[in-house]
Structure 1
Amino acid sequence: MPIKKLDTGNYRVTASLGFDPITGKHRRKYISNVKTKAEAEQIYADLKSKYTNNELPTLNKISFRELSRMYFSDYTLNQKPTYIRTQEGYAKNHLIPFFKNTNITKITSTEIRQFQKKLIKKKTLSNNSINKHLILLKKIFDVAIEKKYIVTNPCINIKKLKVEKQKMKFWTLSEFKTFIKAVEDDYLKTKDEQPEKFVFIVFYYTQYLTGLRAGESTALLWEDNTFEKQEFDINKTESRIHGKVVTTSPKTKSGIRHVSYNAKYKDILIQWKEIQNNILNSYGIEVTPQTHIFQYSDKIPDRDNFSTKKINKICTSTDITAIRLHDFRHSHVALLIDNKEELTAIKERMGHASITTTIDTYGHLFPNKQKSMSDKIDELF
């Protein structure tokens, strides 16, 4: 009988819930010491309803380590390699060491908060980074819900940490000129012994004058360049994953675009192509349309060749503050804004998926229009 009165006067509910889809075992749910028959009948009805709607967890005991492995094996197939690499780093370095082989049915919001507090206490991760760890954790537990291992996600009620927006760093045109002069001076000192140093001149000019992402630049082939139109065809990006250079499609669909460049930059690029031809010939390599534009040895270039560390080293001989390699992209947008370019044109040039991204990222750089708007209202009276 599903409801039985015990000798104590209380009731026991026994619900047959069919067979577990994973283990094949017959599932039964027992709830004892229910005080009234009406309460027992309600409990029984609720259990049967959850069974009918397939809302009950399975009896399969699975560890967090196994669940994590399942997520990366089956639920990241459409993600970019760089994204997967970052997520795997979160799991390997923090999630798995904390939760280990704990049965996922035993992990509650209490354990999730303990994990969050531990990351905060370490003081090695920013609030933004900690939030990203919690986002991944929720995605992993979403798999457990889909598989019917658990009913609710223990991450749901965990609040994100407050993230203070960092002040954007960029160079003015004057600061960039100081930097690039230092690069040019270094090349002139050793150009006979190290002609390949010219690549750093053209690369940093590329970053400042086009605003390309570093991976988009290193992925460029000569066939992606059209001297006549003075533009690059941006259709791929490069990144280093597990020690290997991997080429993928751009960050977003909007990342596939044409980016024009100015005439003076064109002259620098033509000069580099001639120098590159001599350098690669010395390695027995023929320059073809499929040659990487910024290749200067027998190896394919990647962003590490032009890293922030190198920028810092160059800046030690100047009076300017170093910026990150990615900040060249910000510097380019600041240059466009200072040149009074339209917001929609900037969005297209940068390859943003939405103009909202452009506004959220660079809106504070645009001049304040409040005063001019108020002045125009004055003219109406």
Structure 2
Amino acid sequence: MPVFKDEARGTFYVKTYYTDYTGAKKQKLKRGFKLQRDAKEWEREFITKQAAQPSMPFKTLSDLYLEDKQAHTKKITYETKKNRINTWILPYFNTQPINEISAPDIRKWQATLKESKNANNEPLSAGYMQNLVMELSSIFNFAVRFYGLAVNPCHIAGNTVGKKTRSLNFWTKEEFDKFIDTFEKSSPYYVAFLMLYYCGMRIGELEALTAADVDLDTNTITINKTYHLINGQGIVTTPKTQKANRTIIIPPFLSAVIREYEKRIYGLEADMRLFTASHSTYARQMEDHTKQAGIKRIRLHDIRHSHASLLIEMGFSALLVSERLGHENVSTTLNIYSHLFPSKQIEVAERLEKLCADNTYL
């Protein structure tokens, strides 16, 4: 039996030998179990993970999947996946062997999602349910790729929960001006919302900005990090994607506003964050001042969409919009904003007609 009593500490420990995926024999030592049965349970799960056969319980597979994601994705991505799995997926499949989970089982699970309520006692949105369906499919793809599962049952089951409906809400410049006029110009929120609207940055990128990132002499802002609140702890990480690392050129009037704002920050150092309010605080400020302005309600992230729509209305190309927003590629920009770009079909036909006016094709 690989479970032993640590007489000096009054606890139990596991000492077991196993063969890893390379065929090498190794030893595993785990201490600190208060109860012998807890040590035995840990040892059983550990051995199961090392064996990792298609007959393993779904819980074991989800643990392996999350371990992999923790090693290869950003912390915020890992925490999001962990929350989705532990809340909506693991309780349903839990101890079922993964090779016995069928397409009908997946469809029954999807049916439970349609009847479920979130923390606010509201039905889950189609977009969120689609994210859960995709997450479960990713787990089974992981099993197919690394642990010998023959087929992903999600591919057979399909999606019965519906798909995201992409709706794009934004403010026109006139609406934004009504909104921003409700703030005192000395308010930090006045400066923050001006920067969000005229730079198109994400709220996390704004929250991560330090004085060193803003060069008021060259009218540039360098974005190379983002701020997240994870499990109640503020964490600064690299941006969402590689292309999100960018330098934004800002209009001189915005530089002047920022300069006055920096003068009001006592003891400002280069590495100090310029905006320290929480995401929820910005959201509340936005909601309160939207009501004061008497304009339509949009989300905090929709200010980014408002910046994009402003650039498009001004005639800038999709490539320029993509670079300014920090999208990974221009196709992302077109997928989101293609309907905002004016159609040039009639203009193309008229210019082709003019080009060929002197030619005889008839």
TM-score, normalising length from structure 2?
0.78
Alignment of 1:145-164 (within 5 A): 145-148=144-147, 150-161=149-160, 162-163=162-163
Residue in structure 2 matched with residue 346 of structure 1 by the alignment: 321
Relative to 1, partners in 2 of residues 1:84 and 1:168: Cα closer, same or farther, differing over 3 Å?
same
Residue in structure 2 matched with residue 133 of structure 1 by the alignment: 132
AA at the equivalent of 2:303: F
Q: Residue 215 of structure 1 contacts residue 302 of structure 1 at CA under 8 Å; is this kept in 2?
A: no
Q: Residue 203 of structure 1 contacts residue 294 of structure 1 at CA under 8 Å; is this kept in 2?
A: yes
Select 2:273's aligned residue among 292, 296, 321: 292
Relative to 1, partners in 2 of residues 1:70 and 1:226: Cα closer, same or farther, differing over 3 Å?
same
| C-alpha distance after superposition, 1:222-272 (max 9, x if no partner) | 011111110111101111111111111111111111001111111110111
Aligned-pair CA distance for 1:370: 1.8
Residue in structure 2 matched with residue 244 of structure 1 by the alignment: 233
AA at the equivalent of 2:306: S
AA at the equivalent of 1:303: H
Gaps of 5+ in 1: 1-19, 25-56, 188-194, 278-285, 296-300
Q: Residue 218 of structure 1 contacts residue 237 of structure 1 at CA under 8 Å; is this kept in 2?
A: yes
Q: Distance in 2 between matches of 1:367 and 1:144?
A: 46
Relative to 1, partners in 2 of residues 1:375 and 1:165: Cα closer, same or farther, differing over 3 Å?
farther
AA at the equivalent of 1:86: T
Residue in structure 2 matched with residue 256 of structure 1 by the alignment: 245
Select 2:101's aligned residue among 100, 104, 107: 107
Over alpha carbons, which structure has the higher Rg? Answer: 1
Residue in structure 2 matched with residue 31 of structure 1 by the alignment: none
Name the SS of the counterpart of 2:298 in structure 1: coil
Q: Does 1:358 align with 2:333?
A: yes
AA at the equivalent of 1:101: T
Alignment of 1:70-85 (within 5 A): 70-85=64-79
Q: Residue 336 of structure 1 contacts residue 346 of structure 1 at CA under 8 Å; is this kept in 2?
A: yes
Q: Does 1:275 align with 2:264?
A: yes
Residue in structure 2 matched with residue 283 of structure 1 by the alignment: none
Select 2:62's aligned residue among 54, 68, 93: 68
Q: Does 1:177 align with 2:157?
A: no
Alignment of 1:39-54 (within 5 A): none
Q: Distance in 2 between matches of 1:98 and 1:360?
A: 34
| C-alpha distance after superposition, 1:46-75 (max 9, x if no partner) | xxxxxxxxxxx9767522122211211234
Residue in structure 1 matched with residue 12 of structure 2 by the alignment: none
Name the SS of the counterpart of 2:155 in structure 1: coil
Alignment of 1:200-349 (within 5 A): 200-277=189-266, 286-295=267-276, 301-307=277-283, 309-349=284-324
Name the SS of the counterpart of 2:167 in structure 1: coil
AA at the equivalent of 2:346: K
Q: Which moved more, 1:267-276 or 1:139-148?
A: 139-148
AA at the equivalent of 1:132: N
Aligned-pair CA distance for 1:164: 5.4
Select 2:347's aligned residue among 358, 361, 372: 372
Q: Residue 238 of structure 1 contacts residue 302 of structure 1 at CA under 8 Å; is this kept in 2?
A: no
TM-score, normalising length from structure 1?
0.74
| C-alpha distance after superposition, 1:100-151 (max 9, x if no partner) | 2222232111111111122123372222322221221122223333453632
Question: In angstroms, what is the RMSD of aligned CA positions?
Answer: 2.3
Q: Distance in 2 between matches of 1:66 and 1:256?
A: 37
Name the SS of the counterpart of 2:234 in structure 1: strand
Q: Distance in 2 between matches of 1:146 and 1:172?
A: 48
Q: Distance in 2 between matches of 1:119 and 1:152?
A: 23
Q: Distance in 2 between matches of 1:159 and 1:180?
A: 46
Relative to 1, partners in 2 of residues 1:153 and 1:342: Cα closer, same or farther, differing over 3 Å?
closer
Gaps of 5+ in 2: 1-18, 24-50, 118-122, 358-362
Alignment coverage as a number of residue pairs: 304
Q: Residue 54 of structure 2 contacts residue 97 of structure 2 at CA under 8 Å; is this kept in 1?
A: no
Name the SS of the counterpart of 2:235 in structure 1: strand
Q: Distance in 1 between matches of 2:278 and 2:290?
A: 21
Name the SS of the counterpart of 1:183 in structure 2: coil
Residue in structure 1 matched with residue 5 of structure 2 by the alignment: none
Q: Distance in 2 between matches of 1:58 and 1:321?
A: 53
Q: Residue 54 of structure 2 contacts residue 147 of structure 2 at CA under 8 Å; is this kept in 1?
A: no
Relative to 1, partners in 2 of residues 1:107 and 1:21: Cα closer, same or farther, differing over 3 Å?
farther
AA at the equivalent of 1:243: G
Q: Residue 236 of structure 1 contacts residue 248 of structure 1 at CA under 8 Å; is this kept in 2?
A: yes
AA at the equivalent of 2:204: G
